[in-house]
C-alpha cells in the first residue's frame, strides 16, 4: 500500500526541506477533519511558512489521514479539505511544495503511516533534501519519523504537542510553542 500524493513536483536540486505535519501544526486539529468549512490556520503558521519559503526552504507536508481508511470521510473529502488549506495558505503567499498522505487504517499495516518511512521514501523518489532538513510535528509519530529518516525532529506545543511534552514523550526533540517559533529557530540556526 502506497501513500497518496496530493502534490509533489520532481526537484533534483538538493535544498533544505521542512517536513511538516498538517493537523495541529499548520492548521488547528479538528478530530477527523472532513469539511473545508472547518479548516482554520494556526495563528502565525502561514506567515512563518512564507518566511521559510522566501529563504529557499522546500515545504513538504506529511499527514496521516486514517479517517479515510476508517470510513469517517472519503478521499474526495480529504482533497476538498486540502484544497481549502491550500487556498488559505495561498492567500498569504504560501504554496506547499508537496503534500503526501497515508489514507490507511492503522490496522492495515501499511508502510506509509507515520512513523513508518513510506511517505519519506515516496518524497525521496522525487526530491533531494540537504542536511539540516527537519521534521516538525505535534505527535510522537512525527518525531519518530524524523529520527528514522535522519531529520532533526522538532515538537510544537500546538495540536497534541503540549500533551506529548507533558507526558515526557519528546525523547530529546526540541520543543517550541508553535510552528512560527520552530521556523525562527531553523532559519536562525541558533539554539533554543
Query: Residue 56 and residue 58: Cα distance in Å, rounded?
Result: 6
| Grid coordinates of 56 | 529557499
Are the CB atoms for 165 and 171 separated by under 8 Å?
no
Catalytic residue among 21, 138, 144, 178: 21
Question: Positive or negative CA dihedral for 121, 145, 82, 90?
Answer: negative
Q: Distance (Å, rounded) from C-alpha 41 to C-alpha 93? A: 14
| Annotation marks residue 163 as catalytic | no
Report which secondary-structure segment, H or E, holds 181: helix 179-188
Q: Is 23 among the residues known to form the active site?
A: yes
Closest C-alpha among 136, 157, 141 to residue 43:
157
Which of 190, 143, 185, 135 is CA-nearest to residue 164? 143
Rounded Cα–Cα distance for residues 159 and 121 (Å): 26
Catalytic residue among 11, 23, 107, 144: 23
What is the distance between the alpha carbons of residues 78 and 36, in angstroms, rounded to a whole number? 9
Q: Which residues are catalytic?
A: 21, 23
Amino acid at each position: 500500500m502506497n501513500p497518496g500524493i496530493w502534490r509533489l513536483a520532481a526537484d533534483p536540486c538538493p535544498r533544505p526541506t521542512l517536513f511538516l505535519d498538517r493537523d495541529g501544526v499548520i492548521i488547528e486539529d479538528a478530530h477527523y477533519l472532513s469539511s473545508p468549512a472547518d479548516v482554520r490556520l494556526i495563528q502565525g503558521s502561514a506567515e512563518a511558512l512564507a518566511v521559510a519559503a522566501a529563504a529557499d526552504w522546500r515545504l513538504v507536508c506529511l499527514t496521516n489521514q486514517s479517517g479515510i481508511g476508517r470510513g469517517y470521510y472519503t478521499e474526495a473529502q480529504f482533497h476538498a479539505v486540502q484544497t481549502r488549506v491550500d487556498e488559505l495558505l495561498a492567500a498569504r503567499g504560501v504554496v506547499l511544495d508537496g503534500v503526501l498522505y497515508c489514507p490507511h487504517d492503522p490496522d492495515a499495516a501499511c508502510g506509509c503511516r507515520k512513523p513508518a518511512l513510506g511517505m519519506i521514501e515516496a518524497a525521496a523518489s522525487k526530491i533531494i533534501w540537504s542536511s539540516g532538513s527537519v521534521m516538525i510535528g505535534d505527535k510522537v509519530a512525527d518525531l519518530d519519523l524524523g529520527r528514522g529518516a535522519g531529520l532533526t525532529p522538532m515538537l510544537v506545543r500546538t495540536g497534541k504537542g503540549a500533551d506529548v511534552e507533558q507526558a515526557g514523550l519528546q525523547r530529546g526533540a526540541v520543543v517550541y510553542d508553535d510552528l512560527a517559533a520552530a521556523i525562527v529557530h531553523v532559519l536562525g540556526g541558533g539554539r533554543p
